[in-house]
């Protein structure tokens, strides 16, 4: 199993499997969009903190399917400019398709470990749930700070160590093969993230997103579980129907499945 954890930091594996296109990510985003208990959608929470103003140049690294921006293009200033970048060409293509007609957005397939962009170009850099995937967080932070203007802001969203542990426990109940196989965000999380950011930034704030999940659709929850390498590799597709029946029994009995979240955003500045 430790191999599976190493794979989540392996760019070749991520491009060829987990993030070949936006399929796996979309299954996960859907659960958060449909079943959050929070008053504010996650991406609105992030963008409210971002405070994007006219004329700003914004870079997102690990932008996936452009989910952060899709629902908010009408709220973004006409004169702002956005570069969305992702390691996976398939993911970058899906991201581009989703915002094809908006000239303010440019797209690039780029490994944030070695960013092919000009130094001092951006007012805001966003890394939304991606720093735990990179081989070296400090290498990416060094690239990020190189790309930032002197007064620019860096935002890094991530999870806490207990994020969705309720789902991990449920999956363990479903299959012995999944016992003790968790910890996706461990390389950069809400607990160890600040120390890593302090190596590059003087001023760091943490904003916690107050929301959990109350899931009432068993098939969508199975899709979520199967979007993760831990479940897919250990159970194989044959387990899908059985897992859906397992989740459905709980939903029928309790009315839903509670999954507690730990998610937040660091905001980092040079001073």
Ligand X SMILES: C[S@@+](CC[C@H](N)C(=O)[O-])C[C@H]1O[C@@H](n2cnc3c(N)ncnc32)[C@H](O)[C@@H]1O
Residues that bind ligand X (CB under 6 A): 11, 14, 19, 25, 61-64, 67-68, 86-88, 91, 111-113, 128-130, 133-134
Work out how close the CB of 111 gets to ligand X at its nearest, in angstroms, rounded to a whole number: 5
Work out how close the CB of 21 gets to ligand X at its nearest, in angstroms, rounded to a whole number: 10
Of the pair 130, 153, the CB lying nearest ligand X is at 130
Length of the chain: 271
- Of 84, 98, 103, the closest CA to residue 29 belongs to 98
Work out how close the CB of 266 gets to ligand X at its nearest, in angstroms, rounded to a whole number: 14
C-alpha torsion 199→122→88→103, nearest 10: 160
Work out how close the CB of 27 gets to ligand X at its nearest, in angstroms, rounded to a whole number: 12
d(C-alpha 87, C-alpha 89), whole Å? 6
d(C-alpha 120, C-alpha 144), whole Å? 10
Of the pair 162, 177, the CB lying nearest ligand X is at 162
Work out how close the CB of 16 gets to ligand X at its nearest, in angstroms, rounded to a whole number: 11
CA distances from 186 to 110, 172, 200, 206 (A): 23, 19, 20, 17
Work out how close the CB of 107 gets to ligand X at its nearest, in angstroms, rounded to a whole number: 12
Angle at 252 between CA 33 and CA 241, to 5 degrees: 75
Of the pair 86, 262, the CB lying nearest ligand X is at 86
Question: Do the bridges between strand 81-86 and strand 105-109 make them parallel or antiparallel, or are there none, so unpaired?
Answer: parallel
Of the pair 110, 243, the CB lying nearest ligand X is at 110
Of the pair 27, 244, the CB lying nearest ligand X is at 27
Of the pair 130, 178, the CB lying nearest ligand X is at 130
Question: Do the bridges between strand 257-259 and strand 105-109 make them parallel or antiparallel, or are there none, so unpaired?
Answer: unpaired
What burial letters (b/e) apply to 103-118, b meaning 16+ CB within 10 Å?
eebebbbbbbbebebe
């Amino acid at each position: 199993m430790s191999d599976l954890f190493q794979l989540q930091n392996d760019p070749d594996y991520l491009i060829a499997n987990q993030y070949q296109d936006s399929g796996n990510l979309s299954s996960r985003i859907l659960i958060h969009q449909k079943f959050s208990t929070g008053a504010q959608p996650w991406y609105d929470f992030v963008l409210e903190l971002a405070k994007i103003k006219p004329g700003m140049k914004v870079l997102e690294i690990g932008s996936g399917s452009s989910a952060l921006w899709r629902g908010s293009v009408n709220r973004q200033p006409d004169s702002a400019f956005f570069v969305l970048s992702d390691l996976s060409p398939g993911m970058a293509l899906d991201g581009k398709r989703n915002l094809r007609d908006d000239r303010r957005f440019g797209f690039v397939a780029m490994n944030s470990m070695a960013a092919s962009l000009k130094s001092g170009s951006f007012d805001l850099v966003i890394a939304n749930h991606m720093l735990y995937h990179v081989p070296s967080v400090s290498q990416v932070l060094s690239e990020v700070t190189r790309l930032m203007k002197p007064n620019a802001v860096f935002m890094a969203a991530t999870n806490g160590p207990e994020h969705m542990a309720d789902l991990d426990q449920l999956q363990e109940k479903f299959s012995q093969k999944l016992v003790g196989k968790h910890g996706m965000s461990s390389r950069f999380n809400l607990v160890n993230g600040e120390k890593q950011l302090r190596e590059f930034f003087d001023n760091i704030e943490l904003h916690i997103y107050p929301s959990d999940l109350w899931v009432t659709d068993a098939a969508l929850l199975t899709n979520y579980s199967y979007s993760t390498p831990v479940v897919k590799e250990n159970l194989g597709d044959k387990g899908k129907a059985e897992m859906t029946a397992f989740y459905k029994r709980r939903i029928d009995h309790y009315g839903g499945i509670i999954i507690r979240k730990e998610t937040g955003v660091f905001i980092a500045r040079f001073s």
